[in-house]
Structure 1
């Protein structure tokens, strides 16, 4: 029975440790997305409704 208490205490301490490490990592920006902004420039933007209307009226965007 004593071993169950020891295992319970150790597992709770380990869970709290991982929770603290996770909160620290999110607070310091470890999960910020640094890859997408550099790739986003490679894709064309979709036309907005104003740009689509100008193109349909015969006006060109130069």
Structure 2
């Protein structure tokens, strides 16, 4: 029975660690802009096309 208490305490500690890490990352702004990185590949910036034409 004492092993069950240890497992419950360890699981609560791990859950609190994950929760605190999540709250820390939200406050630091890691989830502010989640649309731009996914759409960056769809946008043509033109810089790479100009560099490629100069080298040819």
Aligned length: 40
Stretches of structure 2 lacking an aligned partner (at least 5 in a row): 44-56
Runs ≥4 in structure 1, deviation > 3 angstroms?
none
Larger Rg: 1
What is the match of residue 11 of structure 1?
11
Q: What do you get for the CA RMSD once the two structures are aligned?
A: 2.2
* Counterpart residue number, 2:23: 23
Uncovered stretches (5+) of structure 1, i.e. residues with no partner? 43-62
**TM-score for both structures, normalised by structure 2:** 0.60
